[in-house]
Amino acid sequence: MLRRFARIARSQQPAYVELIAGAAHVLDRAPWLGGETTGECLPGFDDEAVGPCARLAPVEPRKILCVGRNYRAHAKELGNEVPVEPMLFFKPSTSLLDPGGEVVLPPSAISARVEHEAELAIVVGAPLKRADEAAAASAIFGATVACDVTARDLQKKDGQWWRAKGMDTFCPVGPVVVSGLDLTELPIVCSVNGELRQRGNTRDMIFSVPRVLSFVSQVMTLEPGDLILTGTPEGVGPLAAGDQLRIDVDGIGALTVGVRAG
């Protein structure tokens, strides 16, 4: 059964909610931590980032891991070899951006080339340590949509990607986390100002989601709520101030954010 979760900014305090038939049912904690309904129900929400109060990033991960070069055509478009095992890096939690928010471009003296990378993102649902792929698959809570915003010039220049991938607002995510979805064949579409930039499908991943989670868990414990961005298909391109970025993943929804100069 598909279930859809979001996080909203209420007047009291932010809350996780489950979206059922246009209403937001408030939970007492994150659903991957066993959140249950409080009985409070707010009408007027749909699956997109629309509702009577602001929508927040639907996750609060302690770790954000990303897979690099997980689609052959994308590795090739940047002139890179296809990796022989999953290639991972971190984004800091301070890079998270709410759906409907704005990616803030750094001053051009720091980076003059910021690009979008449209990605499926996985939310971990149970602790994983030295897990095989079957155990990893059963520990997936659900999936959401994310953008691995990247300062491409810094990525090429720096040995480590902490700056290129880690700036504030460089991880838009949402608007919902969906559980129960088959993640093996989902179309991913990215547009900027209505113009198509990326069109891919999760079936083209080099390393499957269970493979990636199992691989990570050999060296570090994955915890409920951790977020894993699974790599981008080809078609990455630049973002400029004033742009409207939209990423659609079938079965999950559309993540939209603006872009502004910092």
User: Footprint of Zn ion on this chain (CB under 5 A)?
Assistant: 117, 148, 232
CB of 260 to Zn ion, least distance (A): 22
Task: Tell me the CA distances in angstroms from 233 to 164, 175, 261, one per residue in order.
Answer: 18, 20, 26
Cβ-Cβ contacts under 8 Å for 245 (sequence gap 6 or more)? 103, 116, 147, 172, 190, 191, 192, 239, 256, 257, 258, 259
CA distance 172 to 64: 12
Q: Which is nearer to Zn ion, 148 or 248 (CB)?
A: 148
CB of 74 to Zn ion, least distance (A): 8
In this structure, is the dihedral angle defined by the CA atoms of residues 218, 220, 224 and 226, taken in order, positive or negative?
Answer: negative
Q: What does DSSP assign to residue 218?
A: T
Q: Which is nearer to Zn ion, 24 or 88 (CB)?
A: 88
Q: Which is nearer to Zn ion, 217 or 232 (CB)?
A: 232
Q: Which is nearer to Zn ion, 45 or 170 (CB)?
A: 170
CB of 50 to Zn ion, least distance (A): 27
CB of 91 to Zn ion, least distance (A): 9
CA atoms within 13 A on the CB side of 237: 13
CB of 75 to Zn ion, least distance (A): 11
| Closest to 190 in 3D by CA, of 137, 227, 243, 226 | 243
Which amino acid is it at 46? D
Q: Which is nearer to Zn ion, 198 or 232 (CB)?
A: 232
**159's tokens:** 């040995």
Q: Which is nearer to Zn ion, 31 or 231 (CB)?
A: 231
Partners of 103 in the β-ladder: 259
CA distance 100 to 103: 10
CB of 34 to Zn ion, least distance (A): 31
Residue nearest to Zn ion (CB): 148
CB of 138 to Zn ion, least distance (A): 25
Cα 71–Cα 64–Cα 94 angle in degrees, nearest 5? 125
